[in-house]
Amino acid sequence: MKLKYIIPTLCIALFTLSCSSEDDTDPIINEVEDLSKIQEIDNNTHTIELFNETGKFETGYNTISLRIKDNATDRYVENASINWMPLMQMPTTAHSSPKSDISKALGMKTVYEGFIVYQMTNLDGSGWSLSIDYTIDGNTYNASSDIVVMQSEFQNVTSFTGADEKRYVLALMAPDEPKIAINKLKVGLFAMETMMSFQVVEDYRMTSDPRMPGMGNHSSPNNTDLIYNSAEQLYEGNLSLTMTGYWVLNLQLLHAAGELLKGEPVTEDHPKSSLYLELEF
């Protein structure tokens, strides 16, 4: 065998050997293998990496995984406490969106998670920024950046004013992958207290009437009302989908006392409630 083949082969072998030995002694944990990176937000000391399954933000409910890299050591921080604030800059005003707290993901060392519900966006995806405040070992830091939020194809979030004159945001959280079956339907409901503060609304109730406009507004049986689940802080019910395709979930929101806040029953003359979500599969 010629030397020119042997030398590169040896080099490659040596290189890979050295890499693996380094891994053995000093592993860099990768806990985001199944996720796609959306964006990095950095400051002088840290780089914050944002992940989800699709690798992009879209309007509606977004679960987000994030981790913080120490730029000095290239290692991921395991003991941060984190807060975030999404912000939509409008021509004359600005507002935030419903969001969760951020906590360490279950069974993970370096990954934190939470969700944000983007209720709208500009056509080109611009307008939103995300500011992250975090504390590590008693020191506080901030990182912020513009982010891109694309418009979802279907209405999976809606904001509206109820009969009580309050502003609400309603977002579809599950099913993530709908199927021809009885699906578990999960919906988040938030009241807009101020432009910057959204609170989970508890103990209301929603009726659900899924319909297929493409099939003469065909409905499905054995759907149940959406009831508040205090453990998960969302509304939950059964959603029957009898076939794949485009479905409109017609909803009616009822106050804890039973008073109708938004939405109408579906009839021949009124094929769609004013409060609805869409899904297609």
Q: Which residues bind other proteins (CB under 8 A)?
A: 179-182, 212-222, 240-246, 280
Q: Nearer Cβ to other proteins, position 200 or 212?
A: 212
DSSP-assigned letter for residue 213: G
Q: Nearer Cβ to other proteins, position 115 or 246?
A: 246
Q: Among all chains, which residue has been given the structure tokens 């906590």?
A: 103
Q: Nearer Cβ to other proteins, position 138 or 221?
A: 221
Q: Nearer Cβ to other proteins, position 65 or 252?
A: 252
Task: Kindly state the smallest distance separating residue 228's Cβ from other proteins, in Å.
Answer: 23
Q: Nearer Cβ to other proteins, position 219 or 233?
A: 219
Q: Is the dihedral of CA 152, 178, 244, 242 positive or negative?
A: negative
Task: Kindly state the smallest distance separating residue 151's Cβ from other proteins, in Å.
Answer: 14
DSSP secondary structure, 70-88, as one string: ETTTTEE-SSEEEEEEEEE
Task: Kindly state the smallest distance separating residue 102's Cβ from other proteins, in Å.
Answer: 35
Task: Kindly state the smallest distance separating residue 67's Cβ from other proteins, in Å.
Answer: 36
| Secondary structure of residue 16 in the 3-state scheme | helix
Task: Kindly state the smallest distance separating residue 211's Cβ from other proteins, in Å.
Answer: 8
Can you tell me the distance from the alpha carbon of 251 to that of 172, in angstroms, rounded to the nearest whole number?
12
| Residue 98, token pair as written in the block | 């419903």
| Secondary structure of residue 263 in the 3-state scheme | coil
Q: At residue 114, what is the residue type?
A: G
